[in-house]
Structure 1
């Protein structure tokens, strides 16, 4: 019997005693990585003073992490399939710790950007963790465990903001990164001690040319999106990067279809279940980020505007923190719905809840409790959706390609957030109101962004409707190097 089969199949349905510990450790590692992404938010306005550089240059401390994460996620996922998911998980955690230490020791821009780049290279921890779960957990534990792991991205982000704000307000900003390093060391030690290595291997050689091509295309695209507002959307640099991204993607796709062991199997991506799950992930990533952008600004704008609430960054973090807890709480419910109705229904339900949350936000945005309620509703919908996506992906790809497929799905969510950031930034920059000598985003501007967020959730619902009506789940994982489709069982959804 294949080592990739759920252990319950080998033990007559009994769960391994360490499975709960494995899930807890992997979820903790995911939370640590998502914490890293939010730790810098409270100090972004102060970075020019801390690093003795201009605001436009210190913005690279955020952009570098985005670009590094985009490049690392699909590449590390593929390396995990080839050489061991646990091994690459530990490498990613080491990069996180190293980057955190470099940032903690930084007093100028260059080492800070280097450190943030190293931190971004750890972004594949969550898809690697999900893939490890598929290989080592009992079948009956898998849905709930992967839902929890997938939700860890939102959990860490929500809990990290108030923690980072508290540390930034009361201690040196360097403590933020020493904290990240310490948490990374704990996560690494726990992974080494508790998490087993999967024996599932994809085999073959690593597609270096494909990885370089995909990296170049992603960097060009995301650089144009993230810096387009600063450089000008019609500037030669921005348009040149967009053009380069399109050209490189086309050449890369042509090459991947003709190489024996591609970095990304485009034929697998074209399967309906994988294709529409990834498209829905882009829409969900877009929708989720709209809330992350709007709610903090509404809370922090001066109350004299008539729609701002004049709260501190610490309050912002406390308002958003319950959302992360709700996402975690939705994991078992998402898993239960997936088990009985199928992940397609879970994903569509999540989209409806998110759209309803944004619609409610357009009406309720004048009190702190309004925003807490809205963020929790949207968080519940995201929790459902993020729990369903790994199940949909893993039900359509061989076990030997799980890490690469989950990593690409995570990348799709990140692409959605990047698109949302660019579009929302344009809208809020154009729709302003004068407050003294300062132009601030107008109330209608926020409402339009929220309406677009609701529209993105509706789009995700529409895309999910094209998913197969029957739920598929791998029951026999191919051995290393086998590219056959997984055997499947079906249940009506």
Structure 2
């Protein structure tokens, strides 16, 4: 007699599990895209006729800029018209760009293709919104989304490892550096095939979310927001390449920051704003967004300095590890594995303590990991240990931040909330990347006079990473203790 009432929850549960399974594959593909091209950069530079590896930063900067601009807009469209629909659109654009990359043989076409490939960055925010929408009916939306986000981060980092390891092997099978013209195109076709498969996984395996009717697109709001993000992110990029002494760079950055004042005033007057400022100034939301910015400093900004430090010859400069490219790849692999460990710990810590406390623990782990660099950076095992500790904290935060943003958002705004956590993280990474590049450049310039001056640049980088994580940890104490838990009832209508 009790079988019939139990049938509905069972179907719901199996639906969520099935959904996570398909999205797990999509995030593996996302990880492949992030890891696959890294070991090929030197050969791609030769293939495209560039001067040196540093010129490849132009591609990275262009893709980063596009991602910052389109992620909030696409996420809002997902809230309005269905997250699966926009996920499919972004996957089609990513697939087209990835196929284009495989056959792009000159700088201009490769730049356009690489930039357009950045649409994949919106996948994770849309996936989190989809999962939260499907799990909402179970009354365990927050915990189920958190658990799913952890598995998606595992998939993402696993894909990055597979991409980084597999790219070199595949490139070698097709002929490698000895025959670039013949080997590069078939090597680059592999990720294009993977993205195409991801499209069909979404099309046939992912159900659509339920958007609220009667929504409208705040076009003016998104134009102001896009201009602000464009000025800030492009200004930070120019800062890295032109240095802090270039006055017009600061004008661009300040103009971008100041644009958020009229944006906020305009949004507060809108019935269905692009960004609901009232929601984002709540104590369950704004600390999460600021934490995403602070975490982006170490998560996205510190990896290049870590790689250069690990490769620096201590016999020449008096610091560094002198690791080969292969040994540095192992270091990166250890870091990615530690992030997987952290992601798997997220639901355990959230269940054992509270979701908020899990975020606080993660922030202080990142702070501890980078803080340990200050006294302990001379031995390889010390650097590996420091990065593992920081990686565990970063892995927890990678899954916790978007799921926390989704749990704190009202119905109809989960997509934009999770997307903005990604955007603020990206801006934090851009800021850190620019500052770190300047700090290390000054250190290199002073190295001729004093080896300690050059090392000081790395110490400043690690101090900023640790300090940002400490600030995030204390900031999260502002969040209510029961935030992001299943007992927390989300707002059921879009704020007016």
Aligned-pair CA distance for 1:473: 4.4
How well do the aligned residues superpose, as a CA RMSD in angstroms?
3.0
Q: 1:316 aligns with which of 328, 352, 357?
A: 328
**CA pair 414-34 structure 1, distance change in 2 beyond 3 A:** farther
Partner deviation per Cα, 1:297-321 (whole Å, 9 max, x = no partner) = 1222235334333334333222211
Aligned-pair CA distance for 1:269: 0.6
Aligned to 1:68: 66
Query: Higher helix fraction: Structure 1 or Structure 2?
Result: 2
On the 8 A contact 1:159/1:324 being kept in 2, the answer is no
Partners of 1:418 and 1:71 lie apart in 2 by: 13
Aligned to 1:51: 48
Aligned-pair CA distance for 1:64: 1.0
Partners of 2:326 and 2:160 lie apart in 1 by: 14
Aligned to 2:279: 268
Partners of 1:430 and 1:202 lie apart in 2 by: 55
Q: 1:241 aligns with which of 246, 252, 257?
A: 252
Q: 1:371 aligns with which of 360, 366, 383?
A: 383
Partners of 2:187 and 2:376 lie apart in 1 by: 34
Partner deviation per Cα, 1:156-210 (whole Å, 9 max, x = no partner) = 4455444445556663444553222111112112112211111233641212222
Deviates more, 1:52-61 or 1:372-381: 52-61
Partners of 1:22 and 1:443 lie apart in 2 by: 48
Aligned-pair CA distance for 1:215: 1.3
**CA pair 420-155 structure 1, distance change in 2 beyond 3 A:** farther
**Pairing 1:19-168 to 2, within 5 Å after superposition:** 19-45=16-42, 48-53=45-50, 58-137=56-135, 138=138, 139=140, 141-150=144-153, 152-157=155-160, 159-167=162-170
Aligned-pair CA distance for 1:228: 1.3
Aligned to 2:472: 460
Partner deviation per Cα, 1:95-127 (whole Å, 9 max, x = no partner) = 111111111111111111111121112211001
Paired residue secondary structure (2:483): strand
Deviates more, 1:287-296 or 1:397-406: 287-296
Aligned-pair CA distance for 1:48: 4.9
Aligned to 1:425: 437
On the 8 A contact 1:348/1:385 being kept in 2, the answer is no
Structure 1, unaligned stretches of length 5 or more? 1-7, 486-493
Partner deviation per Cα, 1:376-407 (whole Å, 9 max, x = no partner) = 21111112222322342223211311011100
**Pairing 1:282-297 to 2, within 5 Å after superposition:** 282-297=293-308
Partners of 1:331 and 1:251 lie apart in 2 by: 38
Partner deviation per Cα, 1:16-55 (whole Å, 9 max, x = no partner) = 3343332132133234224324444344455554323556
Partners of 1:236 and 1:330 lie apart in 2 by: 42
Structure 2, unaligned stretches of length 5 or more? 177-182
Partner deviation per Cα, 1:196-233 (whole Å, 9 max, x = no partner) = 11123364121222222211111111111012132233
Paired residue secondary structure (1:470): coil
Partners of 1:168 and 1:428 lie apart in 2 by: 33
Paired residue secondary structure (1:483): coil
On the 8 A contact 2:92/2:199 being kept in 1, the answer is yes
Q: TM-score, normalised by structure 1?
A: 0.87
Deviates more, 1:54-63 or 1:98-107: 54-63
Partner deviation per Cα, 1:444-473 (whole Å, 9 max, x = no partner) = 322221122111110111111111122344
**CA pair 41-440 structure 1, distance change in 2 beyond 3 A:** farther
**CA pair 341-13 structure 1, distance change in 2 beyond 3 A:** farther
Partners of 2:25 and 2:381 lie apart in 1 by: 29
Partners of 2:429 and 2:203 lie apart in 1 by: 32
On the 8 A contact 2:447/2:453 being kept in 1, the answer is no
Partners of 1:42 and 1:344 lie apart in 2 by: 37
On the 8 A contact 1:278/1:412 being kept in 2, the answer is yes
On the 8 A contact 1:207/1:261 being kept in 2, the answer is yes
Q: 2:228 aligns with which of 217, 220, 243?
A: 217
Partners of 1:412 and 1:92 lie apart in 2 by: 20
Partners of 1:160 and 1:203 lie apart in 2 by: 42
Partners of 1:299 and 1:162 lie apart in 2 by: 19
**CA pair 292-459 structure 1, distance change in 2 beyond 3 A:** same
Partners of 1:76 and 1:19 lie apart in 2 by: 23
Paired residue secondary structure (1:348): helix
On the 8 A contact 2:217/2:272 being kept in 1, the answer is yes
**CA pair 444-46 structure 1, distance change in 2 beyond 3 A:** farther
Aligned to 2:14: 17
